[in-house]
A and B are shown apart, each in its own frame.
Chain A
Amino acid sequence: MQALLDGRLWLITLGALLVLVGVNTALQPNFLDPSVLQSNLTTFLPLVLVAVGQTYVVLGGDIDLSVGAIVALVNVTTVSVIAALGGTNEAVLAGLAAGIGVGLACGLVNGLVVAVLRFQPIVTTFATGIVFSGLALRILPDAGLPVPEVFWRGYAGGAFGLPTVVIVLAAVVAVTAVVARRPFAIRLKAVGGQRAAAFQTGLAVGRLRVGAYLLSGLFAALASLCLTGETASGDPLMGQTLALSSISAVVLGGTALAGGVGGPLGSLLGALVLGMIGNVIFFAGLPFEYQTLVQGLIVLAALAGGVLVARR
Chain B
Amino acid sequence: MPDAPDALTATGVTKRFGAVVALSDARLRVGRGEVHALLGANGCGKSTLCKIIAGTVARDSGDIRVDGEARPLASPRAAEAAGIAIFYQELSLVPQLTVAENIHLGHEPRGAGGFVDRTARDESTDHLIGRFAGVAGDTFSAKTRVADLSPDQRQITEILKVLARRPRLIIFDEATAALDRRQVDVFFSIVRDLRAEGVSSIFISHRLDEVFAVADRITVMRNGETVGDFAVAETDPEAIVREMVGDVRLGPRPGKRPAAGGEPRLVVDGVGGGRLKDVRFTARKGEILGLGGLQGQGQKRLLAGLFGAEPFTSGAVLLDGAPVAPRRPADAIRAGFGLVSGDRGRDAAFPGRSILENAAMASLVREKAHLILARRLSARFDRMLAGLKTRYAGLGAPIGSLSGGNQQKIFIARWLAARPLVLLLDDPTKGIDLGAKADFFAIIRALAETGTTVLIYSSEDADLLSLCQRVLVFNGGRITADLSGPALDAVGLTRAAYGEAA
Chain A interface residues (CB < 8 Å from chain B)? 6-7, 178, 181-183, 186-187, 189-190, 192-194, 196-198, 200-203, 256, 260-261
Contact = CB atoms under 8 A, between A and B. Distances in A.
Given A181-B115, A202-B76, A196 B91 contact: yes
B80 interface: yes
Nearest to A196: B91
B93 A186 contact: no
A167 B110 CA distance: 29
Contacts of B93: 194, 197
Interface string B35-69: 00000000000000000000010000000000000
Given A181-B116, A182-B116, A200-B88, A187 B96 contact: no
A260 B115 CA distance: 20
B145 A189 contact: no
Interface string B427-445: 0000000000000000000
B96 A202 contact: no
Given A181-B116, A182-B114, A202-B106, A189 B77 contact: no
Contacts of A194: 91, 93-96
B92 interface: yes
A103 to B, nearest CB: 24
A201 B96 contact: no
Interface of B: 56, 76-77, 80, 88, 91-97, 101-102, 105-106, 108, 110, 114-116, 118, 145
7 contacts: A183-B116, A187-B106, A189-B96, A201-B106, A202-B77, A260-B94, A261-B96
Nearest to B104: A186
B346 to A, nearest CB: 15
Given A182-B116, A202-B80, A189 B97 contact: yes
Contacts of A183: 108, 110, 114, 116
A182 B114 CA distance: 7
B77 A190 contact: no
Contact of A186 (B88, B92, B101): B101
B115 A200 contact: no
A193 B97 contact: yes
Contacts of A203: 105-106
A304 B91 CA distance: 28
A201 B118 CA distance: 20
Contacts of A182: 114-116
A201 B92 contact: yes
Contact of B96 (A181, A193, A196, A200): A193
A187 to B, nearest CB: 7
A-B CB proximity, top 6 nearest: A260-B96, A193-B96, A193-B94, A183-B108, A194-B94, A190-B94
Contact of A201 (B95, B105, B110, B145): B105
B74 to A, nearest CB: 13
A6 B115 CA distance: 24
A10 to B, nearest CB: 16
A88 to B, nearest CB: 37
A7 B145 contact: yes
B423 to A, nearest CB: 32
A6 to B, nearest CB: 8
Contacts of A200: 56, 76, 88, 91-92
A260 B76 CA distance: 24
Given A182-B116, A193-B96, A260-B94, 14 more contacts: A181-B118, A183-B116, A186-B101, A187-B105, A189-B96, A190-B94, A190-B97, A197-B93, A200-B91, A201-B92, A201-B105, A256-B96, A260-B97, A261-B96
Contacts of A193: 94-97
Given A181-B115, A182-B116, A197 B110 contact: no
A182 B93 CA distance: 20
A260 B80 CA distance: 26
**Which residue of A7, A187, A200, A256 has the most chain B CB atoms within 10 A of its CB atom?**
A200
Contacts of B116: 181-183, 186
A193 B141 CA distance: 20
Contacts of B145: 6-7
Contacts of B118: 181
Nearest to B110: A183
Nearest to A7: B145
B407 to A, nearest CB: 27
Contacts of A261: 96
A186 B108 contact: yes
Contacts of A186: 97, 101, 105, 108, 116
Contacts of A7: 145
Contacts of A198: 94, 105
A153 B102 CA distance: 49
The interface centre, meaning the residue of A181, A182, A183 with most chain B CB atoms within 10 A of its CB, is A183
B283 to A, nearest CB: 35
Given A182-B116, A186-B116, A202-B106, A197 B92 contact: yes
Nearest to A181: B115
Nearest to A260: B96
A201 B91 CA distance: 9
A260 to B, nearest CB: 4
Nearest to B79: A202
A256 to B, nearest CB: 8
Given A183-B108, A189-B97, A203-B105, A197 B91 contact: yes
Contacts of B88: 200
A216 B223 CA distance: 52
Contacts of B95: 193-194
Nearest to B161: A201
A187 B116 CA distance: 11
A150 B497 CA distance: 80
Most buried by B among A178, A187, A194, A196: A194
Contacts of A196: 91
A203 B108 CA distance: 12
A291 B297 CA distance: 56
Nearest to A194: B94
A253 to B, nearest CB: 16
A84 B456 CA distance: 75
A310 B96 CA distance: 11
B448 to A, nearest CB: 38
Contacts of B80: 202
B105 to A, nearest CB: 5
B64 to A, nearest CB: 19
Contacts of A6: 145
Among B88, B94, B97, B145, residue most surrounded by chain A Cβ atoms (within 10 Å):
B94
Nearest to B105: A201
Contacts of A189: 94, 96-97, 101
